[in-house]
Amino acid sequence: MTRWLNREQQKYWRAWIATSILLHNRLSQELQHSDNLTINDYEILVRLSEVDGRAMRMSELATQTMLSRSRLSHQIDRMERAGLVERTACDTDRRGQVATMTEIGWQALIKAAPNHVESVREHFVDLLTDEEFAALGSALRKIADHLESLDDK
């Protein structure tokens, strides 16, 4: 027997879909306009900036950015052409590859970060009270944990 969403559940579900698409598109447009980076470029640069040597195995980077390996490979190709990253063979596993942020990539991230953080605040964080933001974060973590556990099975 199908457990249909009631009217209120359906309203909130549709609000989540609209918000996630609209927010992603807005942040992406603003990054592209202000810093000529895609949101995927930015996320990759952030992830690389957070590890020693600003370098990470491509398989781990795909997992952290939630991009398929194929999509990440195409993204890294484009970022290499822009001088933001370099791709090299992994020292410990010849089948693996490592993406390393270049100095150009580091400077691009430093330049883009303040604008992006302001956009995140304007369109997301500052629209909610501290309590609402904490509740939303807790609810989203619960959903993410559930979905991530399905990948482990």
All structural domains of the chain, each given as residue ranges with its CATH number in brackets, are: 37-151 (1.10.10.10)
DSSP letters for 85-124: EEEEE-SS-TT-EEEEE-HHHHHHHHHHHHHHHHHHHHHT
Q: Over its length of 153 residues, how does the chain's per-residue pLDDT go in tens digits?
A: 999 999 999 999 999 999 999 999 999 999 999 999 999 999 999 999 999 999 999 999 999 999 999 999 999 999 999 999 999 988 777 778 999 999 999 999 999 999 999 999 999 999 999 999 999 999 999 999 999 899 766
